Homo-oligomer: A and B are copies of this chain.
Amino acid sequence: MNTHRNEKIFRLRFGTPFRTPAVVIDQWNSTEAFTQNNIIEIEETDNQIRLELALRNEQIVLGLGEQLGALNKRGRRYRAWCVDEPHHNPDKDALYSSHPVLFISGEPCIGLFIDYPSEMDFDIGFTQHDRIRITIPSGSADIYLWQADSLRESSREYLRLTGSSYVPPRWAFGYHQSRWSYPNDASVRAIVDKFEEHGIPLDTIHVDIDYMDGYRVFTIDEKRFPNVKKLAGDLLEKGVRLVSIIDPGVKIDPDYSVYREGIADKHFCTDDDGHPYRLAVWPGWTHLPNFLSSKTRTWWSSHVKRLTERGFAGVWNDMNEPAMFFTDHSLKRIEDAVVKLEDKDGLQPWDIFNLRWACEDIQNYRENFKTMSQHTDAGELVNHWDVHNLYGYGMTMATSQAFEDDKQRRFIFSRSSYSGMHRISGLWTGDNSSRWEHLILQMRMIQNLNLCGFLFCGADVGGFNDHVSPELLVRWTQLGALTPFFRNHSAAGTRDQEPWQFGETILSAVREAIRIRYALMPYIYSEFLKAANKGIPLIRPLAYQYEQPALSEFEDQYFIGDSLMAAPVHQPNARGRYVYLPEERWLMLRMKRWDDYQTEILPAGHHYVKADLNEMLLFIPENRLLILTEPGNSTDSVSGRYVVLGLVAEETELELWEDDGFQRSIRREDCNISRFHVEPSGRRVEGHSKNREVCFNILEPGRK
Instruction: Judge whether B469 and A126 touch: CB under 8 Å.
Output: yes
Q: Which residues of B contact A352 (CB under 8 A)?
A: 280, 325-326, 334, 359, 362-363
A74 partner, pick from B435, B466, B573, beta carbons under 8 A: B573
Looking at the complex, which one of B91, B341, B575 makes contact with A435 (CB distance below 8 Å)?
B91
A89 within 8 Å of B by Cβ?
yes
Residues from chain B with Cβ under 8 Å of A335 in the complex: 341
Q: Enumerate chain B residues within 8 angstroms of A341, measured Cβ to Cβ.
A: 331, 334-335, 338
- Least distance between A478 CB and chain B CB atoms (Å): 15
Whether A24 is near chain B, meaning CB under 8 Å from some CB there, is: no
Per-residue CB contact flags for chain A residues 339-368 toward chain B (1 = under 8 Å, else 0) read: 101001101110011011001101100000
Interface size on A, as a range, is 35 or more
Contact B349 A284 (CB under 8 A): yes
A471 near B359 with CB under 8 A, answer: no
In chain A, residues 541-589, which have Cβ atoms closer than 8 Å to a Cβ of chain B?
Answer: 550, 552-553, 571-576, 578, 580
Which residue of the partner chain, among B90, B348, B466, B580, contacts A284 with CB atoms under 8 Å? B348
Chain B proximity of A296: nearest CB distance (Å): 25
Are B469 and A75 in touch, CB under 8 angstroms?
yes
In the bound complex, CA of A281 to CA of B437 (Å) = 33
Contacts known (A345-B285, A349-B281, A349-B284); A471 close to B75, Cβ less than 8 A: yes
**A19 contacts B by Cβ under 8 Å:** no
Please, which residues of chain B bring their CB within 8 A of the CB of A553?
Answer: 571, 573-576
Cross-chain contact of A90 among B128, B339, B436, B580 (Cβ < 8 A): B436
Cross-interface CB contact of A349 among B280, B435, B550, cutoff 8 Å: B280
A90 contacts B347, C-beta separation under 8 Å: no
Residues of B within 8 A of A344 (CB): 328, 331
Q: In whole Å, how far is A371's beta carbon from the nearest beta carbon of chain B?
A: 15
- What is the chain B residue whose CB lies nearest that of A281? B349
Contacts A90-B435, A578-B606 given; does A503 touch B347 at CB 8 Å: no
Provide the bound-state CA to CA distance between A571 and B71, in Å.
11
Q: CA A331 – CA B351 in complex, angstroms? A: 12
Determine which residue in A128, A571, A572, A575 has the highest number of CB atoms from chain B within 10 A of its CB, and name it: A572
Identify which of residues 17-56 in chain A touch chain B, using a CB-to-CB cut-off of 8 Å: none
The docked-state distance in angstroms from the alpha carbon of A669 to that of B280 is: 74
Q: A344-B331, A606-B608 in contact; A470/B573 too (CB < 8 A)?
A: no
Q: Which of A74, A355, A359, A613 lies at the interface centre, i.e. has the most chain B CB atoms within 10 A of its CB? A: A359
* Contact for A72 among B77, B339, B433, B572, CB less than 8 A: B572
Question: Smallest Cβ distance from A580 to chain B, in angstroms?
Answer: 7
A189 proximal to B (CB < 8 A): no
A285 and B436 alpha carbons, distance in the complex (Å): 40
The smallest beta-carbon distance between A145 and chain B, in angstroms, is: 24
- Which residues from chain B contact A303 at a C-beta distance below 8 Å? none
* A70 interfacial contact with B, CB 8 Å: yes
A74–B347 CA distance with the chains assembled, in angstroms: 44
Is residue A505 within 8 Å, beta carbon to beta carbon, of the partner chain? Answer: yes
- A60-B573, A334-B341 are contacts. A502–B129 as well, Cβ < 8 Å? yes
B residues in contact with A433, CB < 8 Å: 90-91
| Nearest-neighbor residue (CB-CB) of A346 within chain B | B284
Q: A677 within 8 Å of B by Cβ?
A: no
**Beta-carbon nearest neighbor of A605 in chain B:** B608
Q: Which residues of B contact A75 (CB under 8 A)?
A: 469-472, 572-573
Q: Complex: how many Å from CA A252 to CA B281?
A: 44
* Chain B residues within 8 Å of A466, by CB: 91
A76 at the interface (CB under 8 A from B): yes
Contact B129 A505 (CB under 8 A): yes
- Is A607 close to B, CB under 8 A? yes
- Residues of B with C-beta under 8 A to A505: 129-130
C-alpha spacing A353/B334, complex, angstroms: 12
Enumerate chain A interface residues (CB-CB to B < 8 A). 57, 60, 69-70, 72, 74-77, 87, 89-91, 125-126, 128-130, 280-282, 284-285, 325-326, 328, 331, 334-335, 338-339, 341, 344-345, 347-349, 352-353, 355-356, 359-360, 362-363, 433, 435-437, 465-467, 469-472, 502-503, 505-506, 550, 552-553, 571-576, 578, 580, 606-608, 613
Could you list some 20 contacts between A and B, CB below 8 A? A74-B573, A75-B472, A89-B89, A128-B502, A128-B503, A129-B503, A130-B505, A280-B349, A285-B345, A325-B352, A328-B344, A331-B344, A331-B347, A334-B352, A356-B360, A359-B359, A360-B360, A553-B575, A553-B576, A578-B608
**Interface contacts beyond A72-B573, A326-B347: sample of 10 additional A-B pairs, CB < 8 Å, sorted by A:** A76-B572, A91-B465, A129-B503, A285-B347, A331-B344, A355-B359, A360-B360, A578-B608, A606-B607, A606-B608
